[in-house]
């Protein structure tokens, strides 16, 4: 079933994410997505994530659709002007891709081609407006389309952004522009997220809380220092540190070192349990640990 009916029915929706490879060997990416089969309502495919050149999101979405999975095409405004963005939206629909997550995109200087010229002809709000217009049967200039799509449009928000009021204003604009669902930046502080959800209770679209799987204490500390709007509480950092120490000791003893994986699963499942009463879904970002998504959902009772 398409993603939209699950959202509209008020179900607790689960989505997860894969990243296309840097090269033409796509088998690993498609294999990772298989871990989500029968467990999630949609599979996000990142669009040149972190401004690092990769295979395009649309082709991976098309292949996932052919395999019977429900793709969510991520589309950033960094690399294409309004002509190309609108053309790609129509192309996605022709290929059977129904869901689009509209993003502004990271600046090229953050990626592996720092000299690349950014476009940013549109931003996430105006991209949503353009996509909504296509759904209505016209382009951004008001020209009629010969056949129109019916894209299910999504957007993102950072509940931990500071000031959070700016995030809420932008979110309101995105919903007004046509967003039918929202996925959030990584959430680890449940109390902070609860406060955010209370402030946006007037926004009547499904919000899916994002969870990035923690792989190590070092990763948690890095996000705290470098990823705006993300805060990993000290208690979770300490748990991952203890798991990392146990893994080192296990390796030294010639034993299986999987304590960090197990702890990451426990943390994610516990977060899902605490976040579930607050929102209408979860968006899991495994960062290559796709095989851990089913155990996480099992542990969370999903």
Alpha-carbon distance of 48 to 79, in angstroms, equals 9
Please name the residues in contact with 69: beta carbons below 8 A apart, sequence gap of 6 or more.
Answer: 33, 36, 37, 43
Closest CA to 52 of 22, 12, 29, 14: 22
Residues 123-132: pLDDT tens digits?
A: 999 999 999 9
Please name the residues in contact with 229: beta carbons below 8 A apart, sequence gap of 6 or more.
Answer: 158, 159, 160, 161, 162, 167, 185
Query: Beta strand pairing status for 207-212 and 99-103?
Result: unpaired
- Tokens read off for 268: 């994610």
Contact (Cβ atoms closer than 8 angstroms) between residue 192 and residue 167: no
Alpha-carbon distance of 302 to 296, in angstroms, equals 9
pLDDT at 1: 65
Contact (Cβ atoms closer than 8 angstroms) between residue 160 and residue 195: no
DSSP structure class, residue 135: H
pLDDT at 228: 86
Closest CA to 37 of 294, 301, 295: 294
What residue ranges do the domains of the chain occupy? 3-299
pTM: 0.95
Mean pLDDT for each 10-residue chunk of the chain (302 residues)?
92 97 96 96 96 97 97 98 98 98 95 96 98 98 98 97 94 98 97 96 96 95 92 95 93 91 96 97 95 96 92
Alpha-carbon distance of 43 to 17, in angstroms, equals 6
Strand-pairing partners, residue 102, are 75
Closest CA to 55 of 22, 87, 9: 22
Determine the CATH number of domain 3-299: 3.20.20.220
Query: Looking up tokens 């997860």, which residue turns up?
Result: 16
Closest CA to 119 of 22, 48, 179: 48
Please name the residues in contact with 215: beta carbons below 8 A apart, sequence gap of 6 or more.
Answer: 260, 264, 287, 289
Residues 45-78: pLDDT tens digits?
A: 999 999 999 999 999 999 999 999 999 999 999 9
């Amino acid at each position: 079933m398409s993603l939209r009916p699950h959202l509209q029915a008020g179900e607790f929706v689960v989505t997860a994410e894969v990243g296309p490879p840097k090269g033409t060997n796509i088998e690993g990416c498609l294999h990772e997505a298989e871990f989500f089969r029968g467990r999630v309502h949609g599979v996000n495919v990142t669009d040149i994530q972190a401004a690092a050149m990769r295979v395009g999101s649309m082709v991976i979405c098309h292949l996932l659709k052919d395999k019977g999975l429900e793709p969510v095409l991520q589309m950033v405004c960094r690399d294409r002007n309004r002509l190309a963005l609108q053309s790609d939206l129509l192309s996605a629909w022709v290929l059977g891709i129904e869901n689009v997550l509209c993003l502004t995109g990271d600046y090229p200087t953050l990626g592996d081609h720092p000299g690349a010229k950014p476009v940013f002809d549109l931003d996430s709000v105006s991209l949503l407006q353009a996509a909504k217009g296509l759904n209505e049967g016209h382009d951004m200039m008001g020209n009629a389309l010969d056949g129109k799509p019916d894209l299910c449009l999504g957007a993102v928000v950072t509940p931990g952004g500071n000031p959070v009021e700016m995030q809420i204003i932008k979110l309101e604009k995105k919903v007004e522009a046509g967003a039918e669902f929202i996925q959030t930046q990584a959430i680890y502080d449940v109390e902070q997220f609860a406060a955010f959800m209370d402030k946006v209770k007037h926004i009547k679209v499904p919000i899916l809380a994002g969870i990035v799987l923690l792989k190590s204490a070092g990763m948690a500390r890095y996000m705290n220092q470098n990823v705006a709007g993300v805060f990993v509480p000290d208690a979770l950092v300490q748990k991952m540190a203890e798991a990392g120490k146990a893994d080192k000791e296990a390796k030294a003893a010639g034993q299986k070192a999987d304590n960090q994986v197990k702890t990451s699963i426990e943390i994610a499942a516990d977060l899902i349990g605490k976040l579930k009463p607050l929102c209408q879904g979860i968006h899991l970002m495994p960062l290559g640990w796709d095989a851990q998504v089913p155990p996480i959902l099992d542990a969370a009772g999903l």
